[in-house]
């Protein structure tokens, strides 16, 4: 299978910039509006606010800089065959109160970013390379909205809706994802119900999924956080 030529870096910059501009305004659907020019996050502060307290010391260019998205993550080292490299307020403190962030997602052949939601943001992905089957499920009627994407394509996952991506090709794939939140949050459906702490009672899960206790315990054992 022929591998398409890599996209020009300038094209990637233009598309990602457009993604950030076109995402809904924070005042409409994302984080709260900022009240000053900048508020670099103090990630060590014990002050509890909706976001992060502003850093008291001098602001530097490094507060607004991150180069981690340039390198592909090791997707083969994860059980799902995908890995997310985040560039949110935790990695870029200068994003605090700005209502935007990025991530890079890398997929091994056949790798899946399993069904999950982002409770605080709409997501827009731009395919860097590879072929991906993607989709989201509507809250009204549980309708699947799905598409197969190729390099250069863009797809939107509305805020809070369950969605997924799967590498449908025989070569690695990657996307850059833009969010209209400094910290969109990610909740994996499988982990949320089968790996919660304390555990969701088996009686709830057996009834909800119409399976036996043995099946529930087997899934819990596979998804349980690794200790040590």
Q: Which is it for strands 173-179 and 101-107: parallel, antiparallel or unpaired?
A: antiparallel
| 33, two tokens | 């509006």
Residue 167 near residue 81 (C-beta atoms within 8 A): yes
| Gap between the Cα atoms of 79 and 191, Å rounded | 13
Q: What is the pLDDT of residue 10?
A: 52
Is it the case that residue 49 has pLDDT exceeding 90?
no
Between 3-12, 35-44, 100-109, 196-205, the lowest mean confidence (pLDDT) is in 3-12
| 11, two tokens | 């094209």
Query: Strand, coil or helix: what is 129?
Result: strand
Is it the case that residue 180 has pLDDT exceeding 60?
yes
Q: What Å distances lie between residue 74 and 26, 106, 108, 215, 225, CA to CA?
A: 32, 8, 8, 31, 19
| 167, two tokens | 């590498």
The sign of the torsion formed by the CA atoms of 121, 127, 128, 129 equals positive
Name the more confident of 31 and 176.
Answer: 176
Give tens-digit pLDDT for 70-127: 999 999 889 999 999 999 999 999 999 999 999 999 999 999 999 999 999 999 999 9
pLDDT confidence band for 35 (50 / 70 / 90): confident
Q: What is the pLDDT of residue 26?
A: 46
Between 5-9, 105-109, 150-154, 178-182, the lowest mean confidence (pLDDT) is in 5-9
Give tens-digit pLDDT for 188-218: 999 999 999 999 999 999 999 999 999 999 9
| Gap between the Cα atoms of 52 and 45, Å rounded | 8
pLDDT confidence band for 19 (50 / 70 / 90): low
Under CATH, which number does the domain 69-92+99-185 receive?
A: 2.60.120.10
Binding residues for oxalate: 113, 118, 123
Q: What is the pLDDT of residue 22?
A: 53
Portions of the chain given CATH number 2.60.120.10? 69-92+99-185
Residue showing tokens 């596979």: 222
Binding residues for Mn(2+): 116, 118, 123, 163
Binding residues: 113, 116, 118, 123, 163
Beta strands of the chain (E only): which ranges? 82-87, 101-107, 112-117, 123-129, 132-137, 144-149, 154-157, 162-167, 173-179, 187-188
- With a pLDDT cut of 70, the percent of the chain lying above it is 86
- The predicted model gives 44-49 an average pLDDT of 89
Q: What is the mean pLDDT of the chain?
A: 90
Give tens-digit pLDDT for 119-166: 999 999 999 999 999 999 999 999 999 999 999 999 999 999 999 999
Name the more confident of 146 and 3.
Answer: 146
Residue 94 near residue 38 (C-beta atoms within 8 A): yes
Is it the case that residue 27 has pLDDT exceeding 50?
no
For residue 70, say if its preceding peptide bond is cis, omega within 30 degrees of 0: no
């Amino acid at each position: 299978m022929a591998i398409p030529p890599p996209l020009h870096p300038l094209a990637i910059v233009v598309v990602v910039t457009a993604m950030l501009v076109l995402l809904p305004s924070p005042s409409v659907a994302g984080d709260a509006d900022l009240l000053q020019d900048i508020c670099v996050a103090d990630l060590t502060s014990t002050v509890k606010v909706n976001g992060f307290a502003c850093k008291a010391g001098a602001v530097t260019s490094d507060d607004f800089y991150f180069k981690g998205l340039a390198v592909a993550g090791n997707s083969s080292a994860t059980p799902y065959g995908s890995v997310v490299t985040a560039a949110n307020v935790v990695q870029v403190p200068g994003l605090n109160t700005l209502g935007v962030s990025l991530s890079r997602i890398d997929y091994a052949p056949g790798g899946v970013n399993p069904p999950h939601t982002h409770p605080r943001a709409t997501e827009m992905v731009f395919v860097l390379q590879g072929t991906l089957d993607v989709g989201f499920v509507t809250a009204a009627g549980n309708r699947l909205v799905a598409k197969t994407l190729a390099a250069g394509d863009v797809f939107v996952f509305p805020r809070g809706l369950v969605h997924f991506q799967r590498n449908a090709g025989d070569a690695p794939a990657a996307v850059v994802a833009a969010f209209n939140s400094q910290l969109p949050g990610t909740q994996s459906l499988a982990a949320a119900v089968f790996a919660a702490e304390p555990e969701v009672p088996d009686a709830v899960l057996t009834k909800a999924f119409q399976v036996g206790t043995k099946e529930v315990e087997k899934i819990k054992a596979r998804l349980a956080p690794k200790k040590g």
